[in-house]
């Protein structure tokens, strides 16, 4: 069975999120102040959703995307999400540093235009690696040999979720989620079996009502998170890993 290490994984998508618990920019002000500045990146027609007042504030009211489907932005009263993804099988992987640079520029303009309070920060990275029998691979990779005969001898699918808390760069108290699971990747020619890894680093939700992160702190968070994603993935799929 093919072994997987950190270097075998390709980046499928990146996400950067700011949580704005006191509310965000209005649609009218966004169209006036921000949409013209973001039009080069988000060159597809914007979607403005007329949502009733009783809908949760996390639901996006404004959705932007690029024509090549590589970039996407979702704006809700309680959060703003910026995404970058591989738009096709032949496309190159998103560059994490370049993505964060673009997202941070948008965040700075968004905060300036809306004067929102940032109560929480999050970064999400999704990666994948081809593996013919991903369920069995994950079972053998993460479980002791005694479980290989039963009940994990022939799983069609397998998932592992792990959560821990730590100090990111001795500056931010964060949650770190790692989800490893089997999956399928639809390609232009055929469906491929893959191992999916979702990594999520975020500041504490319970601190959001009282925190007010500055733009310098937002920049520092993503500067620290970028190498931490690789360091964490290496712990789960080290270079010396052997899976039979």
Note the pLDDT of residue 152.
Answer: 54
Cα diameter, the chain: 63
**Is residue 231 exposed (0-12), middle (13-18) or buried (19+ Cβ within 10 Å)?**
exposed
| Helices vs strands, H then E, count in the chain | 5, 9
- Domain limits of the chain? 6-236
Question: Do residues 19 and 104 touch, judged by C-beta distance below 8 A?
Answer: no
- All residue ranges of the chain with pLDDT < 70 are 1, 144-156, 188, 240-244
Tens-place pLDDT, residues 167-218: 999 999 999 999 999 998 877 677 889 999 999 999 999 999 999 999 999 9
**pTM for the whole structure:** 0.89
Distance (Å, rounded) from C-alpha 118 to C-alpha 121? 8
């Amino acid at each position: 069975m093919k072994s997987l290490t950190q270097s075998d994984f390709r980046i499928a998508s990146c996400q950067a999120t700011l949580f704005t618990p006191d509310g965000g920019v209005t649609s009218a002000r966004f169209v006036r102040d921000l949409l013209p500045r973001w039009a080069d990146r988000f060159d597809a027609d914007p979607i403005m959703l007329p949502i009733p007042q009783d809908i949760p504030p996390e639901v996006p009211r404004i959705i932007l995307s690029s024509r090549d489907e590589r970039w996407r932005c979702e704006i809700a009263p309680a959060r703003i999400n910026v995404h970058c993804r591989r738009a096709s099988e032949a496309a190159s992987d998103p560059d994490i540093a370049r993505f964060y640079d673009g997202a941070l520029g948008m965040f700075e303009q968004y905060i300036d235009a809306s004067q929102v309070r940032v109560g929480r920060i999050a970064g999400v990275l999704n990666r994948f690696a081809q593996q013919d029998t991903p369920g069995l691979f994950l079972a053998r990779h993460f479980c002791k040999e005694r479980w290989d005969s039963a009940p994990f001898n022939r799983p069609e699918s397998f998932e592992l979720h792990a959560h821990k808390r730590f100090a990111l760069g001795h500056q931010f108290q964060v949650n770190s989620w790692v989800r490893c699971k089997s999956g399928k990747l639809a390609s232009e020619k055929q469906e491929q079996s893959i191992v999916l890894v979702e990594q999520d680093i975020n500041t504490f939700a319970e601190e959001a009502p009282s925190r007010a992160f500055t733009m310098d702190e937002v920049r520092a968070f993503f500067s620290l998170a970028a190498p931490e994603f690789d360091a964490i993935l290496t712990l789960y799929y080290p270079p010396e890993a052997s899976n039979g």
